[in-house]
């Protein structure tokens, strides 16, 4: 049931929401918040700048809307029973699980391609690229979910500019993080292997930005449709949007990455100028066009210029690249690791992203509903989700795996450690970001998914190593 809200002036142009009889109230406010230079301070997100009063007062919020705009005050976080939460979140998590399972099966196939054998830096790049691209899609889903809760998608004149701005923003971010992830993978591999190849580096960068750019357009449109349809069907988008983003994101991005990589690899020796020409098109046409459009919208330009959002992506890239390095090093010893790593990372990351999105939306909307019991349910959902995914892996024979009882116990222990640590970190992380008057929708998700990748790959590699030492030396642990 939606709680009714109105605004009470608490001075300095800020307003605190208090219970009121109408569910919707339209008023006109002026943003009188000023920066140190006397100009209006920029908004932190497209949710019209909700800021915390302090870290402990998270059940209320200060509304700082854009200048002279009519703001429809909607307290859109619906109180849910545990049954309603389970009904909404479990199918979306299952769909996400099958998405990462398919991505894992695809990675298990393509790792044997000549492309990945000769240009082995691509395998190091995969976790970082999928993690960063997934972070952008899930961050988009989280921002749109918050906007839906706050009534920003209720009218066409506010909905379409918001959607267009978000899609352009994600396009720019995707190209930039694709470039950064590829450069980091090249550098990391050069440091480990003490080798460097200019043709291989050009192929890696071109394939990375191609996958990032094309996948962003496709997945961003899908995420927008999911959030809009969820809200119209009275489903909490926080429960479904981020898992669906993850389920489609890994598979679509990996497919496009492998496709472009294979095409560019075929022209690597006969026509190396193809990589250069494609990079010039992306950097010279697509990126400037999107940037020019964003510069006309101060809200999205401000998000693009927010150093903390970029810092979170850089930190996430480094963490995911470490996961990729673990995968590269252990995959040669344990042949089943490549197929199972996307599964454990995807399941853990999806559960964490749902929790982070719910906590962020609750903070933005000033909800008093505790998220701890939902976190507990998410933790215990890891067991059935993992067992179902492993059953499908066994049924399809993916990854050369054999499911002994010892292996199942080891795998479940690894994924429960991963998810348990991740859920414990998330609330502290989101509250820390919120306490500094920053938007968790733009900062928390990349860190959550990267930590999920690192913890998942690390615990899985540790699990395989321990199983091999105690005598379970079947195909899944490197026999």
Digit-by-digit pLDDT tens for the chain (479 residues) are: 333 343 333 333 333 333 333 333 333 333 333 333 333 333 333 333 333 334 344 333 333 333 333 333 344 455 678 888 888 888 888 887 787 778 777 877 887 888 888 887 787 788 777 767 777 777 788 788 888 887 888 788 888 888 888 888 888 888 988 888 888 888 877 787 667 778 888 888 988 898 888 888 888 888 888 888 888 888 888 888 777 777 777 788 888 888 888 888 888 777 878 888 888 898 999 899 988 888 887 777 777 777 787 888 788 877 877 887 787 777 777 767 777 887 888 788 888 888 888 888 888 777 766 778 888 999 999 999 888 888 887 787 665 556 778 888 888 999 999 999 999 999 889 889 888 888 887 788 788 888 888 899 899 888 888 888 876 655 445 44
Phi, psi angles (nearest 5°) of residue 151? 80, 15
The three-class DSSP label of residue 9 is: strand
- Please name which of 378, 157, 126, 365 lies closest in space to residue 250, comparing C-alpha atoms: 126
Q: Determine the pLDDT at residue 414.
A: 92
Structure confidence at residue 52 (pLDDT) = 38
Per-residue pLDDT, 31? 36
Return the H-helix or E-strand segment holding 459: helix 440-469
Q: Tell the residue number behind the tokens 């008093």, with chain if given.
A: 368
Nearest to 369 by CA among 377, 378, 361: 361
Decide: helix, strand or coil at residue 17.
strand
Let me know the angle formed at the C-alpha of 375 by 369 and 381, rounded to the nearest 5 degrees. 135
Residue linked to tokens 């390095």: 325
pTM exceeding 0.75: no
The residues, ordered by sequence, that sit 6+ positions from 9 with a Cβ below 8 Å of its Cβ are 15
Give the pLDDT confidence score for residue 379 in this predicted structure.
93
CA angle 89, 93, 96 (to 5 degrees): 145
What Cα–Cα distance (Å) separates residue 114 from each residue in 11, 193, 253?
66, 19, 20
Q: How far apart are CA 148 and CA 76, in angstroms?
A: 8
CA pair distance 112, 257, nearest whole angstrom: 15
Integer CA distances (angstroms), 9 to 29, 64, 434, in order: 11, 12, 22
Q: At what angle do helices 405-435 and 372-396 cross, to 10 degrees?
A: 140
Helices vs. strands in the chain: H and E counts, helices first: 14, 4
Q: What is the pLDDT of residues 307-344, one digit of tens each?
A: 787 888 788 877 877 887 787 777 777 767 777 887 88
φ/ψ bin of 413: left (φ > 0), alpha (ψ from -120 to 50), beta (otherwise): alpha
Burial per residue of 118-142, b for 16 or more beta-carbon CB atoms within 10 angstroms, e otherwise = ebbbbbbbbbbbbbbbbbbbbbbbb
Minimal CA–CA distance to 320: which of 469, 184, 223, 219? 184
pLDDT recorded at residue 7: 37
pLDDT of residue 51: 39
Q: What's the distance, CA 356 to chain centroid?
A: 10
Q: How far apart are CA 13 and CA 436, in angstroms?
A: 20
Q: Cβ(475)–Cβ(400) under 8 Å?
A: yes
Q: What is the pLDDT of residue 445?
A: 79
Tokens of 422: 């991740």
Residue among 429, 140, 150, 418 at smallest CA distance from 303: 140
- Give me the pLDDT at residue 27, please: 32
Place of tokens 């009470």: 8
């Amino acid at each position: 049931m939606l709680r009714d809200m109105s605004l009470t002036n608490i001075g300095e142009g800020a307003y605190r929401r208090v219970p009121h009889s109408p569910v919707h109230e339209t008023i006109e406010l002026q943003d009188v918040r000023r920066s140190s230079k006397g100009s209006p301070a920029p908004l932190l997100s497209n949710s019209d700048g909700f800021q915390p009063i302090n870290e402990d007062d998270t059940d209320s919020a200060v509304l700082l809307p854009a200048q002279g705009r009519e703001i429809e005050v909607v307290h859109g976080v619906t109180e849910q029973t545990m049954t309603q939460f389970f009904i909404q979140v479990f199918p979306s998590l299952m769909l996400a699980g099958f998405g990462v399972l398919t991505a894992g099966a695809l990675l298990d196939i393509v790792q044997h391609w000549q492309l990945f054998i000769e240009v082995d830096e691509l395998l190091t790049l995969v976790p970082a690229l999928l993690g960063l691209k997934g972070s952008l899609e899930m961050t988009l889903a989280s921002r749109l979910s918050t906007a839906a809760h706050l009534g920003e998608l209720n009218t066409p004149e506010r909905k379409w500019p918001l959607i267009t701005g978000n899609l352009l923003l994600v396009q720019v971010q995707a190209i930039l993080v694709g470039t950064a992830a590829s450069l980091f993978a090249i550098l990391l591999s050069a440091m480990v292997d003490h080798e460097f190849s200019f043709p291989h580096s050009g192929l890696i960068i071109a394939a990375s930005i191609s996958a990032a750019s094309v996948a962003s357009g496709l997945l961003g449109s899908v995420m927008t449709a999911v959030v809009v349809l969820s809200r119209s069907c009275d489903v909490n988008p926080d429960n479904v949007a981020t898992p669906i983003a993850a389920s489609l994101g890994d598979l679509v991005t990996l497919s496009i990455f492998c496709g472009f990589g294979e095409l560019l690899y075929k022209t690597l020796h006969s026509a190396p100028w193809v990589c250069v020409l494609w990079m010039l098109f992306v950097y010279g046409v697509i990126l400037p066009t999107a940037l020019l459009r964003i510069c006309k919208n101060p809200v999205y330009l401000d998000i693009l210029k927010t150093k903390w959002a970029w810092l979170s992506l850089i930190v996430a890239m480094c963490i995911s690249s470490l996961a990729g390095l673990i995968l590269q090093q252990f995959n040669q010893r344990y042949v089943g690791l490549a197929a199972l790593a996307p599964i454990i990372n995807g399941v853990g990351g999806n559960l964490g992203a749902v929790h982070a999105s719910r906590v962020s939306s609750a903070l933005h909307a000033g909800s008093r509903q505790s998220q701890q019991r939902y976190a507990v349910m998410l933790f215990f959902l890891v067991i059935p989700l993992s067992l179902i995914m492993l059953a499908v892996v066994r049924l399809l024979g993916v990854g050369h795996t054999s499911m002994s009882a010892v292996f199942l116990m080891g795998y479940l222990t690894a994924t429960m450690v991963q998810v348990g640590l991740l859920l414990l970190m998330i609330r502290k992380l989101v509250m820390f970001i919120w306490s500094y008057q920053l938007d968790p929708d733009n900062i928390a998700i990349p860190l959550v998914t990267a930590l999920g990748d690192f913890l998942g790959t690390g615990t899985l590699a540790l699990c395989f190593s321990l199983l091999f030492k105690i005598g379970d030396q079947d195909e899944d642990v490197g026999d």
